[in-house]
């Protein structure tokens, strides 16, 4: 008997998908998975409120106003089979009545958007834990929690609240997919029957363009002195900015090319003449930036969040064929055959000295081959097979208030 396709296995269900900001500068696994799910079933992508309270910066205020106005609009079709809506929440959760208001308003807004998008039978799919209060309350046939991070370890969040929501959703999920290997045992203890390991994927075909002679370098990178040490990704509090500064100071004749939005002060980097800040760039252009690199770096701070991380950039660097120097964590160590792992800043510099001249025959091809079978499509199909095994046959949703 032939296996059902991933789309037929969904039994006509759509998906209400609670993810990170759809319009964020950085494309995360939240976006990659949603796009591929939408090729198999209708998806309503719900922008979930951030886990930290907004501050008074112009950027945060503009974002809050945009989300508030968007909440009352009809869902927007952003791709075939993919709709987008926003559900903002009042940030003052500790005030009496605010939490109840957020739950009721959020539930009403999501149900309204589902109705307008024409999604009747549905699966709820959570990539972040704090909207998990809606799990089982949207008339869904199945609850999926795709846990990709140690959310309570993020800087600036209400750690106790996020940890409580994370645990509650982990227990409630009919399918709990865990990307970071370091979190797998703890999640299995919470939900032993429904927890599966589901590591990140990569767009192999896109990043392999970094090895294509026809791929042009960005104008900013064409005349930089070599070797070029590259980084792609947002610069957050968990990035070791002082380490990058130190490396650039130790090798003033090299170029350090950083591609991504800075969420923390980087005045020290800006002051260095051999550090070049490209800012946010379109996702589709990242192979051309990668092509410029002689070596790529993962300069994380060694903290709890990083210990439990499953970095997308690791697989993207390898899919681009690039030599990589990185700090250690359980997921990165799985790729020790293709990545130079370091324990301190002196070791980082020594590894970089070797990486920038690593032009051994077949090295780039070996790195690409290391992740060639780890595409996002393969990852999504594997998860959907788990969904199909748990989806009640011929079920019909019954909405609960």
User: What pLDDT, on a 0 to 100 scale, did the predictor assign at position 380?
Assistant: 96
Average of per-residue pLDDT across 273-280: 97
Degrees, nearest 5: CA angle 93-96-99: 40
CA distances from 167 to 4, 19, 161 (A): 33, 18, 10
Amino acid 238: pLDDT: 92
Tell me the DSSP string of 351-384: HHHHHTT---TTHHHHHHHHHTT-BHHHHHHHHH
Over residues 269-282, mean pLDDT: 97
Q: 394 Cβ partners below 8 Å, 6+ apart?
A: 11
Domains in the chain, ordered, with CATH? Answer: 8-201+375-390 (3.40.50.2000), 204-371 (3.40.50.2000)
- When pLDDT is cut at 50, 70 and 90, the band that residue 307 belongs to is confident
Assess whether pLDDT exceeds 50 at residue 3: no
Interval 138-161: pLDDT, tens: 999 999 999 999 998 888 788 888
Per-residue H/E/C for 159-216: HHHHHHHHHHHHHHCCEEEECCHHHHHHHHHHCCCCEEECCCCECHHHHHHHHCCCCC
Q: Report whether pLDDT(55) > 60.
A: no
Residue 7 to residue 391: CA distance in whole angstroms: 13
CA atoms lying within 13 Å on the CB side of residue 71: 18
């Amino acid at each position: 008997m032939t296996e059902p396709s991933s789309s037929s296995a969904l039994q006509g269900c759509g998906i209400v998908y609670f993810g990170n900001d759809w319009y964020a500068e950085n494309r995360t696994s939240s976006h990659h998975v949603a796009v591929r799910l939408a090729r198999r079933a209708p998806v309503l992508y719900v922008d979930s409120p951030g886990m930290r309270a907004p501050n008074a910066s112009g950027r945060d205020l503009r974002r809050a106003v945009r989300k508030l106005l968007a909440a009352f609009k009809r869902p927007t079709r952003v791709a075939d089979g993919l709709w987008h809506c926003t559900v903002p929440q009042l940030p003052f959760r500790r005030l009496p009545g605010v939490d109840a208001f957020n739950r009721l308003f959020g539930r009403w807004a999501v149900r309204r958007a589902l109705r307008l998008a024409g999604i009747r039978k549905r699966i709820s799919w959570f990539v972040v834990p704090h909207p998990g209060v809606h799990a089982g309350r949207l008339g869904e046939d199945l609850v999926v929690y795709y846990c990709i991070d140690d959310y309570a370890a993020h800087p600036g969040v209400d750690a106790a609240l996020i940890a409580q929501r994370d645990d509650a959703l982990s227990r409630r999920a009919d399918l709990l997919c865990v990307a970071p290997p370091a979190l797998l045992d703890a999640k299995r203890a919470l939900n032993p029957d429904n927890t599966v390991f589901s590591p990140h994927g990569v767009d192999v075909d896109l990043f392999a363009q970094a090895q294509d002679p026809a791929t042009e370098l960005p104008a900013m990178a064409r005349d930089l002195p070599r070797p070029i040490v590259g980084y792609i990704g947002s610069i957050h509090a968990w990035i070791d900015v002082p380490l990058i500064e130190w490396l650039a100071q130790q090798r003033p004749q090299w170029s350090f090319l950083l591609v991504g939005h800075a969420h923390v002060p980087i005045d020290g980097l800006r002051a260095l003449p051999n550090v070049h800040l490209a800012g946010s760039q379109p996702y589709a252009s990242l192979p051309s930036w990668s092509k410029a690199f002689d070596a790529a770096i993962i300069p994380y701070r060694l903290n709890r969040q990083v210990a439990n991380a499953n970095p997308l950039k690791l697989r993207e660097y390898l899919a681009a064929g690039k030599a990589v120097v990185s700090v250690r964590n359980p997921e990165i160590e799985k790729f020790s055959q293709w990545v130079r792992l370091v324990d301190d800043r002196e070791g980082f510099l020594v590894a970089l000295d070797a990486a920038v001249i690593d032009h051994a025959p077949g090295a780039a091809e070996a790195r690409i081959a290391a992740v060639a079978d780890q595409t996002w499509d393969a990852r999504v199909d594997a998860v959907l097979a788990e969904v199909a095994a748990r989806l009640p046959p011929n079920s019909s949703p019954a909405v609960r208030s």
